[in-house]
Amino acid sequence: MDRRSLLRLLLVIGFGLDAKSRATASAREGNERMSQQVIVIGAGLAGLAAARELQNHGFQVVVLEGRNRIGGRLWTSNKWPDIPVDLGASWIHGLVGNPLTELAKRAKAEIIETSYESNRLYDVDGQEIAEAKEQRLDRLRIQLESAIESAQDADQDVSLRRVIDRVAVRFGDNVETRQLVNFLASSTLEQEYAGSVERMSAQWFDSAEEFDGEDGLFPGGYHQITKFLADGLKIETNQVVQQIDWNQDQVRVTTNKGEFTADRMVLTLPLGVLKAEQVEFSPPLPNAYRSAIQKLEMGVLNKCYLRFPRVFWPQDVDWLECITVKHGEWVEWVSFARTIKAPVLLGFNAADRGREIEAWTDQQIVSSAMATLRHLFGPDIPAPIDYQVTRWASDPLALGSYSFNPVGADPKLRRQLAKPIADKLYLAGEATDHEYFGTAHGAYLSGLRAAAQIIDN
Ligand SMILES: Cc1cc2nc3c(=O)[nH]c(=O)nc-3n(C[C@H](O)[C@H](O)[C@H](O)COP(=O)(O)OP(=O)(O)OC[C@H]3O[C@@H](n4cnc5c(N)ncnc54)[C@H](O)[C@@H]3O)c2cc1C
């Protein structure tokens, strides 16, 4: 662990102080801060983490949230009361040392581990992949990894697509190679980072750090974490922020319902919302921030949950993957048969394909998913009894799923976003975290960072 990560961990441990020590610290600092008001915009993980930390340190905090619910891109649906499903983030990525693992313990939220090793891979013909072909795929994977490493040492950045194409040509550019590289591009790059390989920077797409260990999901839903953090906070929902005036001594926020003022503000608007300039800043944000916002990009990952009367797929694995004729078409599925004993499959569509299907009707999405499942498991599989689909790119309060680094972006941009503006505005949210962007823990840590900047000021 490097020094910076250690410092951040200490910050997190600080957050984890028992109630008594926190109360003592709060009482001491609180006297000085009772009069200081902070507005936190957004009740996602970043906003809730910041608000809670600031409140624990004696600040008067109000959270303004545009939706009628808290959680933002953590969103547990209770449409199926017996099977809560997460429409936003599902996993804690890397359970070891991850601050969310500790938080889950304190929230008494059960976690079940899943493993990418626990998978079954199907070929374009719908059959389990033959051993010889799987070995070819493994060789291709190794060549792609090594080509990406070389691209990361090159002077000039290129898109991942350029690197992939070079590897394909060397491997013998034919239909089979194309299908295999597209499978790797979709399953290991686009589904994870949400950007299209046409856009993602070969040098920086994976510049984020990772925690060790398996991934874990919440059988009871990720909302247990946001509910735990939100406890005791003053949160105003249905307050869509339209304008932020930070020219005066106090910051002034205008929402669809009224006006709020405070000494300082933590702003956790998703990158998509910032890029679309839906919120008017007066004066405008400084150039360096605007430029960073425009250079970073928002990716797309969409989910389609299908609930069946019974499990008809292999019950002993977490992941079903398939090599497809069309790039990115229902390449990855998660089965909930092993983890929570539920006859539920979750199919993903990422990047360009994820964006494309948002224009489809629910019925078109479900029919397309079922066509893939029939291809894999035969024409007699039962129809789903229900479904839940997401459209994160069209969601006006998200405008995408999570941020990625396109060609031309590097970690300096996120570092820039994390710098306080005039000791008044503090940006937080996953996109502002250069170490763990695109993740729930990145959002959480960014909120703690913004709070620490205010507390230390
Ligand atoms: C489909 C999907 C799958 C994912 N899977 C994972 C995963 O498995 N593991 C993982 O670690 N991460 C995952 N992520 C990423 C993770 O969910 C996000 O990084 C994280 O939740 C972002 O938190 P945040 O607080 O930065 O932003 P948000 O949660 O988006 O919070 C920002 C808040 O601001 C509000 N807001 C926006 N505009 C306005 C406005 N004008 N006025 C007032 N309020 C406004 C929003 O409603 C929102 O509540 C996934 C994301 C998606 C979409």
In the predicted model, is pLDDT for residue 5 greater than 80?
Answer: no
- Residue that the structure tokens 């046409």 belong to: 198
279 lines ligand 1 (CB under 6 A): yes
First to last CA, the chain: 27
Helix ranges, 258-410 (H): 271-275, 287-295, 351-356, 362-377
Distance of CA 161 to the CA centre of its chain: 23
DSSP state at residue 271 = H
What does the pLDDT look like over 357-377, one tens digit per residue? 999 999 999 999 999 999 999
Under a CB-based contact definition with an 8 Å cutoff, are residues 200 and 192 in contact?
A: no
448 lines ligand 1 (CB under 6 A): no
What does the pLDDT look like over 173-185, one tens digit per residue? 899 999 999 999 9
Residue 448 sits in a domain whose CATH number is 3.50.50.60
In angstroms, what is the span from residue 75 Cα to ligand 1's centroid?
9
The rounded distance, in Å, linking the Cα atoms of 447 and 49 is: 5
Question: Could you tell me if residue 274 is inside a domain?
Answer: yes
The rounded distance, in Å, linking the Cα atoms of 160 and 127 is: 29
- Residue that the structure tokens 């889950």 belong to: 104
Distance of CA 17 to the CA centre of its chain: 27
Counting from 1 in the atom list of ligand 1, the atom nearest the Cα of 278 is: 41
Edge to edge, what strands does the sheet with 264-267 contain? 235-236, 60-64, 37-41, 264-267, 425-427
The rounded distance, in Å, linking the Cα atoms of 387 and 382 is: 13
In the predicted model, is pLDDT for residue 2 greater than 80?
Answer: no
Please state, in angstroms and as integers, the Cα–Cα distance from residue 454 to each residue in 99, 111, 280, 310, 358, following that order. 21, 33, 23, 52, 39
Total count of domains within the chain: 1
Question: Helix (H, G, I), strand (E, B), or coil: what is residue 394?
Answer: coil
Position 178: which residue type? R
In angstroms, what is the span from residue 54 Cα to ligand 1's centroid?
20
Under a CB-based contact definition with an 8 Å cutoff, are residues 393 and 297 in contact?
A: no
407 lines ligand 1 (CB under 6 A): no
* pLDDT value of residue 25: 52
pLDDT band at 14 (very low <50, low <70, confident <90, very high): very low
400 lines ligand 1 (CB under 6 A): no
Mean pLDDT of 2-8: 42
* pLDDT value of residue 31: 61
Tell me the residue range of the domain where 37 lies. 3-72+220-298+408-456
203 lines ligand 1 (CB under 6 A): no
In the predicted model, is pLDDT for residue 187 greater than 60?
Answer: yes
State which of 73, 265, 436 you would mutate to test the pocket of ligand 1, scoring each by most atoms of that ligand within 8 A of its C-beta: 73
Question: Could you tell me if residue 11 is inside a domain?
Answer: yes
Question: Could you tell me if residue 401 is inside a domain?
Answer: no
Question: Helix (H, G, I), strand (E, B), or coil: what is residue 53?
Answer: helix
CA nearest to 331, candidates 355, 363, 353 = 353
Question: Could you tell me if residue 341 is inside a domain?
Answer: no
In the predicted model, is pLDDT for residue 191 greater than 50?
Answer: yes
What does the pLDDT look like over 78-116, one tens digit per residue? 999 999 999 999 999 999 999 999 999 999 999 999 988
The residue whose CA has the least distance to atom 35 of ligand 1 is 42
Mean pLDDT of 428-448: 98
Position 263: which residue type? D
Mean pLDDT of 438-456: 98
Question: Could you tell me if residue 93 is inside a domain?
Answer: no
Under a CB-based contact definition with an 8 Å cutoff, are residues 376 and 347 in contact?
A: no
What does the pLDDT look like over 230-273, one tens digit per residue? 999 999 999 999 999 999 999 999 999 999 999 999 999 999 99
Question: Could you tell me if residue 200 is inside a domain?
Answer: no
What does the pLDDT look like over 21-51, one tens digit per residue? 454 555 555 566 667 999 999 999 999 999 9
Report the percent of the chain where pLDDT is more than 70.
93
The average confidence (pLDDT) of the chain is 93
What does the pLDDT look like over 389-422, one tens digit per residue? 999 999 999 999 999 999 999 999 999 999 999 9
Counting from 1 in the atom list of ligand 1, the atom nearest the Cα of 91 is: 8
In the predicted model, is pLDDT for residue 67 greater than 50?
Answer: yes
* pTM score of the predicted model: 0.94
Report the percent of the chain where pLDDT is more than 90.
91
99 lines ligand 1 (CB under 6 A): no
The rounded distance, in Å, linking the Cα atoms of 116 and 320 is: 10
The rounded distance, in Å, linking the Cα atoms of 351 and 183 is: 13
Angle at 231 (CA atoms; ends 230, 237), nearest 5 degrees = 50
431 lines ligand 1 (CB under 6 A): no
Question: Could you tell me if residue 179 is inside a domain?
Answer: no
How many Cα atoms within 13 Å fall on the side-chain side of residue 381?
22
Under a CB-based contact definition with an 8 Å cutoff, are residues 251 and 426 in contact?
A: no
What does the pLDDT look like over 113-165, one tens digit per residue? 998 888 999 999 999 999 999 999 999 999 999 999 999 999 999 999 999 99
Question: Could you tell me if residue 136 is inside a domain?
Answer: no
The rounded distance, in Å, linking the Cα atoms of 403 and 311 is: 35
Q: Among 11-15, 282-286, 436-440, where is mean pLDDT lowest?
A: 11-15
